[in-house]
Amino acid sequence: MAFRLRLAPENTNINFFAYQWAMLVTSCVMMAASVALWAVMGLNFGIDFQGGTTIRTESNQAVDVGAYRQALTGLDLGDVSITEVFDPTFDADQFVAQVRIAAQDGSEAVTPETIQAVEDALKAVDPSITFPSVESVGPKVSGELIWSAILAVLGASGAILIYIWLRFEWQYAVGAVAALVHDIIITIGVFALFQIKFDLAIVAALLTILGYSINDTVVIFDRLRENLIKYKTMPLRDVMNLSANETLSRTLMTTGTTLIALIAMLIFGGDVIRGFVFAITFGIVIGTYSSVYIAKNLVLMIGLDRTDKPKKGTPDEYANIDA
Amino acid sequence: MNAMPLWKRVIILAICAWGVVAAAPNLNYTNIERHNDALAAVEAAGGIATAEQQADLDLWPNWLPSNLVNLGLDLRGGAHLLAEVKVEDVYKARMDSLWPEVRDALRDQRDVVGNVRRLPSPEGTLRVAISEAGGVATALQAVRALATPVVSLTGVGQNDIDVSAEGLEIVIQLSQAERAATDDRTIQQSLEIVRRRVDEVGTREPTIQRQGADRILIQVPGIGSAAELKALIGTTAKLTFNPVIGRTSDAGASPGPRNLLLPSMDEAGVYYIVEETPVVTGEELVDAQPAFDQNNRPAVNFRFNPSGARKFGDYTAANIGAPFAIVLDNEVISAPVIQSHIPGGSGIITGSFTVEQSTELAVLLRAGALPAELTFLEERTIGPELGQDSIDAGKTAAIIAMGAVVFFMIACYGMFGTFATIALGINVALIFGALSTIGGTLTLPGIAGIVLTIGMAVDANVLVFERIREELRNAKLPGRAIQLGYEKAMSAIVDANITTFITATVLFAVGSGPVRGFAITLGIGILTSVFTALFVTRVLVEMWIGWRRPKTIIV
């Protein structure tokens, strides 16, 4: 027998419902904590959603945040934040910082004079400084971008809800979308906790998580649908456990390969898209968890209409665990 | 087992071959890009190539495929601008040009309406006072006779102006339908003029498109700073020649009715009082070129069309010795005294220009004035070095991700893992081939999308292989197990990928720029990975089975 790497034993018989209440409570607590963090700490919105200007500076001299700040205080710009950026892909003499200027009061559009003034002030501090990227978004556009982002997430969730409903049954759709909401809220909570910049790219990441998580959920649902036909008399709970066990090997395999690819991107992909890749990586872990523990469990709680089986939802369905 | 019919195999292998061929040019990106640029330049020049262009042309044979993936601004570097057109500007201009017509129409009825006077009014409305109370009806009729029907799909049966009376005042403004039609025309004109201006600078493949009701998106790859581009696009470049009434250093001076107080461009603190109605405007220019005046200072030569030349000639003939002002965007460039009658319709604008400024002014005058002012709502500039860093980082990550996934697949599935690996290679080739062919844009999140696809592409394979394993455990023969594996995994693969495809579609619809790039690669990646997993690996597996005819297989 040839050697095969196995992520899961050949025949698992894990009872995925053993800790269902603990899992459910944990998930609810995490969601509540996320919402609380979101409300208390707020999200570190990027200029896409808040308006303002970010300037990326690069120099062959070490970044002196204090000196930069000193240079900019005279310009009366309001809220200015300066952060040094570190990345393993940088050269030894490559020093990068990010200067963020809040949207200037009373202007709907971008003010080129402000940007010029900032660039001049920084050049005075460090003559070798260059500005590899300058991005400005006016408050008018950022307000619209927030809406289009919210619409995107709602639209995608709605479309998925309808598709699953058409392909399966409404109970599946509710379970799947509840799992998606769970994934997205917790991911946003993590962004609030670590104050990672939240911009348009992160919304794209959220939508990707949505797609991935639903992918995982659908695979389990598909097997469940098949097994429900095969084992007409087996209690729903057991059919679910069987389906989750049968697909476990695949779930771990896919999550594993995707995570490997993403971790490579996280380490070597550069700092510009680190937040984006981080969001997807985190979301895939949480998405895998939610498809195994949330989506399916909710379907069990709602109950399925197994019309072929007259005795449905009898009390012994819950007692009949032989795991 | 029921092997696939030959024609199916041939089609599948042909698609794979096409993917590899279409993706191949991207491996030699720099040279082929130079080849393509040179080819376009030579075609534009009518087939005559310079030695330099010929050298670039020789970098890649013409008969080989040369479609490349477009690199997004975040990878190539460049400027992205979102401008809003102030469409209201045009309403004002329309009302100002309507005034002489209204005045003349009412003067014809002078005995009924009495004296006619224009009153100050908010921009976009024209308010005219008459002195005879009995003449309101006649005045309304006379002004309404000036209206013309709106030519547009939605505005059928409506006139271009709404005329109403408030006491002794006649109020004229553009009708709703005319405003909509005017807005549309303004945007179209602005687009055209922005395009001409950007083309004059000769950057490669700029994207200039309308966005929403009153916005223009401008993306110019490869330029280092948006400031220069903005100076070029954002200048209205409205050139007028106005009679000068006086000169003052008082910024608060009252210019008098129908006159304007305009600052001088070069002399600080100097203001000119000019008549509001120009003698002739930049719209009547046919050409403008950078030049030098007799003192060898940079200047701009211009030439009027026949009607402009006549107006200019008549005016100069009648006003020898009087100064007239050359006004650009409400600033007086210069106010020379008319020395003699200028009949030919050509002239020279002097001022204290640098050579760059005179060149830029000539470009702006040639391209024409913007019908309305542009304000910039969004501006992003990415330097080419940062883009190159991102490409390198993305490449490294993609190669490492690929290596790790390949190792993982072969360790887990042995021979079948190898098939999946080949399919993965073909998958990446197909993504690039498709992107190159449809001219899709690769952005940094797009690279992340490809890396994600590399990870997820094996998902469908994993589903199939796991299924085959299960069927083998049920003591099925290899051929039968493989067939059942593919058949039973089908519904899960299709459902799972359609839902992901839905999100990619939503992303494409609402996203812009880099996010849209991500949606494109994700969407293409889903299609190609389903294709490679369901068909390519199957062809490979069947070919292997047909060749080795194993009694048992281990997946």
CB contact under 8 A, B377 and A141: yes
**How many Å apart are CA B169 and CA B184, to the nearest integer?**
31
pLDDT tens digits for range B219-232: 888 776 677 777 77
Q: How confident is the model at residue B382 (pLDDT cuts 50, 70, 90)?
A: confident
As a whole-number percent, the residues of chain B with pLDDT over 70 amount to 96
pLDDT of residue B228: 73
Stretch A139-155: mean pLDDT, rounded? Answer: 84
- Contact at 8 Å (CB) between B536 and B12? yes
Tell me whether residues B397 and A89 touch, CB distance under 8 A. no
Contact A269 B394 (CB under 8 A): yes
Asked whether A103 and A115 are in contact (CB, 8 A), the reply is: no
The answer to whether A156 contacts B502, with C-beta atoms less than 8 Å apart, is yes
User: What pLDDT is attached to residue B430?
Assistant: 94
Of A155, A208, A222, the CB nearest to B495: A222
Give B225→chain A minimum CA distance, Å: 9
B377 inside domain = no
Contacts with B, A 178-207, CB within 8 Å:
200-201, 203-204, 207
Query: CA B14 to CA B64: how far, in whole Å?
Result: 17
Nearest to A265 among B380, B397, B502 (CB): B397
Q: What is the CATH number of the domain that holds B259?
A: 3.30.1360.200
Set of chain A residues whose Cβ sits within 8 Å of the Cβ of B521: none
Mean pLDDT for the stretch of residues A302-315:
58
Q: HSE (CB half, 13 Å, CA atoms) of B304?
A: 24
User: Looking at the partner chain, which of A5, A156, A256 has a beta carbon nearest the beta carbon of B506?
Assistant: A156
Q: In chain B, how many domains are there?
A: 3
Say whether A226 and B488 touch across the interface (CB within 8 A): yes
Close Cβ partners of A192 (under 8 Å, ≥ 6 residues apart): A34, A37, A38, A41, A42, A43
B-chain residues near A201 (CB < 8 A): 445, 514-515, 518
Backbone φ and ψ for B244, nearest 5 degrees, come out as -95, 135
pLDDT mean over B274-282: 85
Tell me the CATH number at B170.
3.30.1360
CB contact under 8 A, B499 and A212: no
pLDDT of B500 strictly over 50: yes
Pairing of strands B298-304, A44-45: unpaired
| Rounded distance between C-alpha atoms, residue B117 and residue B102, angstroms | 10
Contact: B411, A5; criterion CB under 8 Å: yes
Torsion angle, alpha carbons of A45, A48, A51, A57, to 10: 90
Q: Are B83 and B377 in contact (CB under 8 A)?
A: yes
Confidence of residue B155 (pLDDT cuts 50, 70, 90): low
**pLDDT of res. A323:** 40
Decide if B329 is inside a domain: yes
B501 & B523 share domain: yes
Inform me whether the C-beta atom of residue A160 falls under 8 Å from chain B C-beta atoms.
Answer: yes
Residue A309: what pLDDT? 45
Range of the domain at B325: 237-352
3-state secondary structure B435-447: HHHHCCEECHHHH
Q: Are residues B421 and B542 in the same domain?
A: yes
- Name all contacts of B358-363 with Cβ < 8 Å and 24+ positions apart: B358/B290, B358/B291, B358/B298, B358/B299, B358/B300, B359/B290, B360/B231, B360/B232, B361/B237, B361/B288, B361/B290, B361/B300, B361/B328, B362/B288, B362/B289, B362/B290, B362/B300, B362/B301, B363/B197, B363/B200, B363/B201, B363/B232
Overall fold of domain A52-137: Alpha-Beta Plaits (3.30.70)
Q: Are residues B295 and B347 in the same domain?
A: yes
Taking residues B195-210, what's their average pLDDT?
Answer: 78
Is B215 inside any structural domain?
Answer: no
CB B315 within 8 A of CB B345: no
Helices (H) and strands (E) counted in chain B, each on its own, are 16, 19
Cβ pair B494, B423 in contact under 8 A: no
* Substitution target from A131, A265, A266 for chain B, most B beta carbons within 10 A: A265
Rg (CA), chain B: 34
Does A82 lie at the interface with B, CB-CB under 8 angstroms?
Answer: no
The CA distance from B196 to B202, in Å, is 10
Closest CB to B510 among A140, A152, A276:
A152
Residue A272: pLDDT band with limits 50, 70, 90: confident
Please check the confidence at residue A310 and state whether its pLDDT lies above 60.
Answer: no
Q: What is the mean pLDDT of chain A?
A: 83
**Interface contact A133-B459, CB threshold 8 A:** no
Residue of A nearest to B462 (CA): A250
Task: Tell me which chain B residues have a C-beta less than 8 angstroms from the C-beta of A264.
Answer: 397-398, 400-401, 404, 451
Residue at B203 is within a domain: no
Cβ atoms within 10 Å of B253's Cβ, excluding its own:
12
- Rounded to whole angstroms, the Cα distance separating B460 from A248 reads 14
The verdict on B156 and B272 lying in the same domain is: no
Burial class (CB in 10 A: 0-12, 13-18, 19+), A75: middle
Residues B403 and B334 in one domain: no
Specify the DSSP class assigned to residue A165: H
Can you tell me whether residue A58 is helix, strand or coil? strand
Contact (Cβ atoms closer than 8 angstroms) between residue A189 and residue A30:
yes
- Residue numbers in B near A7 (CB within 8 A): 412
- Judge: domain A20-45+142-319, CATH 1.25.40.20: no
Out of B181, B200, B223, pick the residue that ends a domain: B181
Phi, psi for residue B42 in degrees, rounded to 5: -65, -40
What distance in Å separates the CA atoms of residue A54 and residue A82, rounded to the nearest whole number?
10
- Structure letter (DSSP) for residue B86: -
Q: Is A56 on the interface with B (CB under 8 A)?
A: yes
Q: Rounded CA gap, A177 and A213, in Å?
A: 10
Q: Does A149 touch chain B (CB under 8 A)?
A: yes
Chain A residues whose CB is inside 8 A of the B82 CB are: 141
B534 shares its domain with B393: yes
Q: Which site among A273, A278, A280 would you substitute to test the B interface, given the most B Cβ atoms closer than 10 Å to its Cβ?
A: A273
Q: Is the model's pLDDT at B555 over the cut of 80?
A: no
Distances B170 to B88, B116, B167 between C-alpha atoms, Å: 21, 10, 8
- pLDDT value of residue B203: 65
* pLDDT, mean of residues B519-534: 89
DSSP annotation of B150 reads: -
Interface test with B, best of A118, A257, A258 (most B CBs within 10 A): A257
For residue A52, give the chain B residue with the closest CA: B378
- The verdict on B335 and B473 lying in the same domain is no
DSSP state of B64: S
Between residues B87 and A306, the one the model is more confident about: B87
A2 vs B379, B385, B554: nearest CB:
B554
Which chain B residues have a beta carbon less than 8 Å from that of A110?
376-379
Helix (H) or strand (E) holding B89: helix B88-107
- A273 CB within 8 Å of a chain B CB: yes
Let me know whether B157 and B270 are in one domain.
Answer: no
Share of chain A above pLDDT 90, in %: 15
Which chain B residues have a beta carbon less than 8 Å from that of A141? 82, 377-378
Calculate the CA B214 to chain-centre distance: 13
Q: Which of A156, A204, A250 sits opposite B445 (nearest CB)?
A: A204
CA nearest A261: which of B458, B503, B260? B458
Within a 10 A sphere around the Cβ of A114, how many other Cβ atoms?
16
Residue B513 pLDDT: 66
Strands in B169-174's sheet, in edge-to-edge order, are B116-119, B125-130, B169-174, B161-166
Does residue A16 contact residue A241 with C-beta atoms inside 8 Å? yes
pLDDT at A278: 92
pLDDT in tens, B474-491: 877 888 888 888 888 888
Q: Which residues of A touch B383 (CB under 8 A)?
A: 130-133
* Model pLDDT for residues B347-360, shown as the tens digit of each residue: 888 877 888 888 88
Task: Provide the mean pLDDT of chain B.
Answer: 84
- Residue where one domain finishes, among candidates B352, B374, B394: B352
Same domain, B69 and B160: no
Q: Is the dihedral of CA A155, A158, A164, A165 positive or negative?
A: negative
Task: Check CB contact under 8 Å for B413 and A163.
Answer: no
pLDDT value at residue B152:
64
Beta bridge partners of B332: B264, B327
Tell me the average pLDDT across B55-74. 82
- pLDDT tens, B410-454? 888 888 889 999 999 999 999 999 999 888 888 888 887 887 787
Q: Are residues B451 and B516 in the same domain?
A: yes
Q: Which of residues 208-227 of A touch B (CB under 8 A)?
A: 208, 210-212, 214-216, 218-219, 221-223, 226
Q: Residue B434 has what pLDDT? A: 92
Confidence (pLDDT) at A318: 47
- Would you give the distance in Å from CA A257 to the centre of its chain? 18
What is the pLDDT confidence band of residue A308, given thresholds at 50, 70 and 90? low
Closest to B365 in 3D by CA, of B301, B278, B310: B301
Q: What is the pLDDT of residue A35?
A: 94
- Distance (Å, rounded) from C-alpha B436 to C-alpha B273? 59
Q: How far is CA A183 from CA A268, A280, B497, in A?
A: 26, 11, 19
In a domain, B224, yes or no: no
Distance CA B224, CA B523 (A): 31
pLDDT on residue B431: 93
B3 — pLDDT class (breaks 50, 70, 90)? low
Buried b (16+ CB within 10 A) or exposed e, B9-42: beebbebbebbeebbbbbeeeeebbbbbebbebb
A315 vs chain B: nearest CA distance in angstroms? 32
pLDDT band at A264 (very low <50, low <70, confident <90, very high): confident
- With a CB-CB cutoff of 8 Å, which residues 99-118 of chain A face chain B? 108-110, 112, 116
CB contact under 8 A, A134 and B381: yes
Minimum-distance CB partner of B511 among A204, A218, A219: A204
Partner-chain residue, chosen from A135, A218, A276, that has the shortest CB–CB distance to B492: A218
Domain ranges of chain A: 20-45+142-319, 52-137
> Residue B433 maps to which CATH number?
1.20.1640.10
The nearest alpha carbon in chain A to B413 belongs to: A4
Report CB contact under 8 Å: A280, B448: yes
Residues A171-196 as b or e (16 or more Cβ within 10 Å = b): bbbbbbbbbbbbbbbbbbbbbbeeeb
pLDDT, tens digit, for every residue of A89-114?
A: 788 888 899 888 887 766 665 677 77
Across the interface, do B381 and A204 touch by the CB < 8 Å criterion? no
What token pair was written down for B527? 């299609």
Q: Which residues of chain A neighbour B496 with C-beta distances below 8 Å?
A: 214-216, 218-219, 222
Range B210-222 burial, b when 16+ CB lie within 10 A, else e? eeeebbbbbbbbb
Pairing mode, strands A44-45 and A197-198: parallel
Under an 8 A CB cutoff, do B390 and A272 touch? yes
Query: End-to-end CA distance of chain B, in Å?
Result: 17
Q: What is the pLDDT of residue B202?
A: 64
Q: Counting one residue from A and one from B, how many pairs have CB atoms under 8 Å apart?
A: 239
**pLDDT value of residue A110:** 62
B395 and B515 assigned to the same domain: yes
Looking at residue A307, what is its pLDDT? 67
| Contact criterion met (CB below 8 Å) for B337 and B197 | no
What integer pLDDT is reported at residue A3 of this predicted model? 65
A244 Cβ under 8 Å from any chain B Cβ = no
**Whether B93 and B73 share a structural domain:** no
Q: Do B377 and A258 touch (CB under 8 A)?
A: no
DSSP bridge partners of A52: A102, A137
Average pLDDT over residues A59-78: 84
